[in-house]
C-alpha cells in the first residue's frame, strides 16, 4: 500500500575531498628530483532536483541520509585523484527545503528540473608540488582533503495541481474526482475519509487535460490548525483554480450558504491572497437534496453519483484552468547555488578562549597537516595573509589566550 508523505527530514552530506600526495621524482638518473605529488579530487555535491515523476516524500521517511561520493587521493607522478560523483536526489515538484533548526527557507523547487545545491563536496587537497617556490624547493607536506558540507533539512511538499477541490468532509470531493479521473480515493460516509491528498488527471480531449487534487475535508477552525487544517490547507496554495464543493443535501445540518461562507473564511484566514485565485463554486449531491434547495442555489450544481451536470462542471473548470495558465509567465528550470560567506569573525567562548569562524581561515587549518613544522609555517603565512592576527588583536585577544580554528587550537602570540 502506498503512503502519501508531505513532510520529511533529510540529512545531506557532500563527499569528502581526496588528500594531496607527498611525492618526489625518483626515476632514471634523477635521484632527488623535485616534488610531483598530485592533487586530491573534489568530493561530489548533493543536489535536490524537482521531478514530476516523484509523487511524495515517502523515500525519505525511513532512509533520511544522502551522501555523495568522496574524491580520490592524489598520487605520485603528478597524478590527480578522480573527482567524486555528484548525487542527484529527486523530490516532487513543489518541494520546499528549510533549515531544520532555524526554519529558514533555502530552496523552493517549483518546476520540473529545478535544481538546488544542498551540500557541496569538500575541496581536494593540493599535492606537495603546489607548494614549491623559491624559498621552499622541496616541500614535504601536502593538504588533506576537506570534509564535505553537511546539514539537516526539513522538506515540505505543496502539491502542484491545476484544480484543488475544497469542501467539508463528505461534500463529495472523492466521489467527484473518482468519477472524472482514474484516481481511486477511499470513499465512505463518515468524516475525514480522505486523510491524504489524491491527484487525478481529467482529460477532456486530445489537447485539453488538467490535474485535479482531492484535498482532505476542511472544518471550521482549519486555518488555526484544527483538524490537521494547516497540513491540508497548504496543498491549496499552488493550485491554479479553487473549486468549492458545497453539499446541497446538508446532511450534517449546515446550510449550503453557511458552508460556503466557512470555507472561504478558512481559506482567506490561512492565506488572504487565495481569495483572489480563480475559483468555481459547485453544489453537490443534487440527487439527494431537496428540489427547493437546488432551485434556489445560485451557482452550478451536479451529482457525481448520477453524473448529472458533471460534464458541464468539468468543462467550466477546464476553461478556467486554461485562462489561468495563459495568465502565468512561462517558467524555466532554475539552478540555485548559494556560496558560503568567506569573511572571518571572532567569537568569545569564555575567559581567555576564542574561536575564529570563516570558511577561508577554517580551510587553511583543516586542509593542512599541523604536525609538521613546515606545514605549520605555511599555515602561519596563510593566516597572516587573511588578516587573522589583526582580527584577533582587534577582538581583544591578548598573548597567552587560547584560539580555536576548526579542530586546531593554539596560544596567541601578537605580531611584533
- Residues 263, 167: contact at Cβ < 8 Å? yes
Name which of 93, 15, 97, 80 is nearest 50 in CA terms.
Answer: 93
Whether residues 143 and 196 share a domain: the answer is: no
> What percent of the chain is predicted at pLDDT more than 70?
84
Confidence bin at 5 (pLDDT 50/70/90):
low
In a domain, residue 60? The reply is: yes
Whether residues 69 and 178 share a domain: the answer is: no
Whether residues 132 and 99 share a domain: the answer is: yes
Whether residues 293 and 208 share a domain: the answer is: yes
Boundary residue ending a domain (157, 186, 218): 157
In a domain, residue 200? The reply is: yes
- Residues 397, 348: contact at Cβ < 8 Å? no
Name which of 79, 67, 89, 76 is nearest 147 in CA terms.
Answer: 67
Whether residues 35 and 146 share a domain: the answer is: yes
Range of the domain at 185: 163-327
What does the pLDDT average to over 350-369?
82
CATH number, domain with residue 226: 3.40.50.300
Q: Which residue has the cell 607522478?
A: 77
CATH number, domain with residue 355: 3.30.300.350
Q: Output the pLDDT for position 48.
A: 94
Whether residues 266 and 357 share a domain: the answer is: no
> What percent of the chain is predicted at pLDDT more than 90?
27
CATH number, domain with residue 51: 2.70.210.12
User: Hey, which of 72-76, 195-199, 218-222 has the most confident mean pLDDT?
Assistant: 72-76
In a domain, residue 116? The reply is: yes
Confidence bin at 161 (pLDDT 50/70/90):
confident
Quick check: 32 pLDDT over 80?
no
Whether residues 90 and 229 share a domain: the answer is: no
- Residues 185, 56: contact at Cβ < 8 Å? no
Specify burial of residue 228 (Cβ count, 10 A radius: 0-12, 13-18, 19+).
middle
In angstroms, the CA 310 to CA 283 distance is: 11
Whether residues 204 and 352 share a domain: the answer is: no
Quick check: 159 pLDDT over 90?
no
Whether residues 136 and 236 share a domain: the answer is: no
Identify the DSSP state of 234.
Answer: G
Boundary residue ending a domain (258, 293, 327): 327
Q: Output the pLDDT for position 297.
A: 94
Whether residues 38 and 150 share a domain: the answer is: yes
Within a 10 A sphere around the Cβ of 196, how many other Cβ atoms? 18
Number of domains in the chain: 3
pTM passes above 0.85: no
- Residues 193, 170: contact at Cβ < 8 Å? yes
Boundary residue ending a domain (136, 157, 178): 157
What does the pLDDT average to over 59-67?
89
In angstroms, the CA 402 to CA 300 distance is: 76
For 238-358, strand residue ranges (E) read: 241-247, 279-284, 300-301, 335-336, 345-350, 353-357
Query: Model confidence over 388-413: pLDDT tens digits?
Result: 888 888 888 888 888 888 778 888 88
Whether residues 184 and 292 share a domain: the answer is: yes
In a domain, residue 334? The reply is: no
Confidence bin at 378 (pLDDT 50/70/90):
confident
Confidence bin at 142 (pLDDT 50/70/90):
confident
In a domain, residue 336? The reply is: no
Whether residues 105 and 151 share a domain: the answer is: yes
Confidence bin at 42 (pLDDT 50/70/90):
very high
Confidence bin at 334 (pLDDT 50/70/90):
low
In a domain, residue 125? The reply is: yes
Confidence bin at 248 (pLDDT 50/70/90):
very high
Residues with Cβ within 8 Å of residue 394, at least 6 apart in sequence:
none
Quick check: 188 pLDDT over 70?
no
Identify the DSSP state of 289.
Answer: S
In a domain, residue 297? The reply is: yes
Q: Output the pLDDT for position 93.
A: 82
- Residues 56, 4: contact at Cβ < 8 Å? yes
In a domain, residue 339? The reply is: no
Long-range (24+ apart) CB contacts under 8 A made by 221-229 are 221/266, 222/266, 222/270, 223/265, 223/266, 223/267, 223/269, 223/270, 224/269, 227/192, 229/266, 229/270
Amino acid at each position: 500500500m502506498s503512503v502519501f508523505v508531505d513532510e520529511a527530514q533529510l540529512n545531506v552530506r557532500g563527499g569528502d575531498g581526496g588528500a594531496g600526495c607527498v611525492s618526489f621524482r625518483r626515476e632514471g638518473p634523477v635521484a632527488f628530483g623535485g616534488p610531483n605529488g598530485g592533487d586530491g579530487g573534489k568530493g561530489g555535491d548533493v543536489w535536490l532536483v524537482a521531478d514530476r515523476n516523484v509523487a511524495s516524500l515517502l523515500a525519505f521517511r525511513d532512509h533520511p541520509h544522502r551522501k555523495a561520493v568522496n574524491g580520490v587521493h592524489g598520487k605520485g607522478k603528478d597524478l590527480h585523484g578522480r573527482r567524486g560523483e555528484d548525487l542527484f536526489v529527486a523530490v516532487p515538484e513543489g518541494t520546499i527545503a528549510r533549515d531544520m533548526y532555524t526554519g529558514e527557507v533555502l530552496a523552493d523547487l517549483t518546476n520540473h528540473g529545478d535544481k538546488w545545491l544542498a551540500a557541496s563536496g569538500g575541496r581536494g587537497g593540493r599535492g606537495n608540488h603546489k607548494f614549491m617556490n623559491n624559498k621552499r624547493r622541496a616541500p614535504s607536506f601536502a593538504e588533506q582533503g576537506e570534509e564535505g558540507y553537511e546539514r539537516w533539512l526539513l522538506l515540505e511538499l505543496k502539491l502542484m495541481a491545476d484544480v484543488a477541490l475544497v469542501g467539508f468532509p463528505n461534500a463529495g470531493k472523492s466521489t467527484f474526482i473518482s468519477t472524472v479521473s482514474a484516481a481511486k480515493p477511499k470513499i465512505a460516509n463518515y468524516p475525514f475519509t480522505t486523510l491524504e491528498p489524491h491527484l487525478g488527471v481529467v482529460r477532456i480531449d486530445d489537447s485539453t487535460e488538467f490535474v485535479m487534487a482531492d484535498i482532505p475535508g476542511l472544518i471550521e477552525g482549519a486555518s488555526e490548525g484544527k483538524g490537521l487544517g494547516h497540513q491540508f490547507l497548504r496543498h491549496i496554495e499552488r493550485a491554479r483554480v479553487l473549486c468549492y464543493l458545497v453539499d446541497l443535501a446538508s446532511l450534517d445540518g449546515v446550510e449550503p450558504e453557511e458552508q460556503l461562507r466557512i470555507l472561504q473564511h478558512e481559506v482567506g484566514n490561512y492565506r488572504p491572497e487565495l481569495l483572489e485565485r480563480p475559483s468555481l463554486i459547485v453544489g453537490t449531491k443534487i440527487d439527494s437534496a431537496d428540489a427547493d434547495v437546488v432551485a434556489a442555489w445560485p451557482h452550478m450544481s451536479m451529482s457525481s453519483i448520477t453524473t448529472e451536470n458533471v460534464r458541464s462542471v468539468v468543462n467550466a473548470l477546464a476553461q478556467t484552468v486554461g485562462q489561468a495558465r495563459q495568465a502565468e509567465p512561462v517558467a524555466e528550470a532554475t539552478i540555485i547555488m548559494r556560496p558560503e560567506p568567506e569573511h572571518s569573525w571572532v567569537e568569545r567562548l569564555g575567559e581567555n578562549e576564542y574561536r575564529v569562524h570563516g570558511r577561508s581561515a577554517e580551510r587553511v587549518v583543516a586542509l593542512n597537516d599541523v604536525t609538521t613544522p613546515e606545514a605549520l609555517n605555511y599555515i602561519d603565512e596563510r593566516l597572516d595573509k587573511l588578516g587573522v592576527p589583526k582580527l584577533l588583536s582587534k577582538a581583544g585577544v591578548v598573548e597567552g589566550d587560547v584560539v580555536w580554528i576548526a579542530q586546531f587550537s593554539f596560544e596567541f602570540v601578537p605580531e611584533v
